[in-house]
Chain A
Amino acid sequence: MNPCGRFEHEGLLLLERGLPLDEHFDTCPDCLQARQAYQRLQGELATAGARYRPPAGWQSRVRAAVAARKARRPGWRLRLMIPAGVAAALVLLVLLVPDREPIPVALHAEIELGSGDVRRGHEPHPGDVLRLRGTTGGAPHAELRVYLNDVELVLRCSTAAPCRRREESLQASVLLDSIGSYQPVLLVSDRPLPEPLATLDDDAAGAIAAGARIAMGRQIDVR
């Protein structure tokens, strides 16, 4: 004889709707068993995937994306001009000076093998060198930083070695001597940059709050 399927067909929906179950569900052995099974399933669902955690440094990446979009966006005066039509725009162009758009900043990262060869798209190993090249947009203050596992600052330089600054470019190299995730960051600002204090997330938040722009290089996982 087939087991009673009323709990699956009716009981589950009644419970999801917060409605009472009738007497049958208290007396039918199949339904009682099914109810217990679904209670266990619901308990397991509550803990499924509990091991998943957002990747380290994700907040900084969101803030950097926010900052990058802000930098790309035209000033409010310029945006007001767009729907005003050509004639009005010509007048407004004379009367209003659009906000200066910041020059984009960017950060490129390359891995140099211990042997001195350059490779891209391969998994780096301890002993390789990370070569960084940032475009500062001519900002008076610029700094390259590299965080290991988002908590340890392994490189920080601006005009002095190991950084080399030439006009709008800032370059540096850092030896990848440990296993872990290296996150390169370029910070630029019209004002002096705040001192790094703690983690990548905190430092990035502090720099953005102080008016800095941030470009994040790709994360380098050394194994």
Chain B
Amino acid sequence: MLPSLTTTTTPTGYAELPGLMTRMTGDEKHEPSATSTLDALWVLYERVLRVTPATAGDPDRDRFVLSKGHGPVAYYAVLAAKGFLDPEELSTFGQSGSRLGYHPDGRLVPGVEIGSGSLGHGLGIALGMSLGLRAQDSGARVFCLVGDAELEEGSNWEAIQLAGRLGLGGFVTVVIDNRSATRGWPGGIASRFEAEGWTSATVDGRSHVDLEAAYRSATANRPHVVVAVVEVKDGR
């Protein structure tokens, strides 16, 4: 059963996200598929991640790795709402000379940890970051966002397997599940992570309360996956 969409009162800022996205798309309304990541991202930046524009270069900052680089409009909007980007810059989206491409570039955009777009790269990099932070006894955590269709790339499973075997605490994967994987995931997504030693929480990807609780249910000695279930992708 799919979780129902919930309406949640959120602090100032969330309400501004549609307007920020409009600066990039020109559309007053946004299809759910364009905003599948919006609430998961917002809750991370608003309530969970220990990183701000002032600490974006701090070695002990929490890392957020957007592996699914497609459709970064929601990501840029959240970064603007949180002060990493000037909202004025959003209108340059996709233009030559802009720092804001259709896939984000970690060397161009303030607050963006990696460049992504080719699917299946972020989890492995995020795992390496987590190992690097652990090797220097940092308490910083690493959150990596992937899509359910992106999980079709085999490279993800190399990282999922190793993170589980290593019992890598402080490593959280967020799967945005809009059922866009053509052949689906019989038995569910979470169970596949659990089989590799991860803890999991599957929640309504629009519920800020549930998302926050899911992020915070990570334990110290195992990697954790949050499957954020949102509306089915259009056209399927």
Q: Do A and B come from one complex?
A: no
B interface vs A, CB < 8 Å? Answer: none
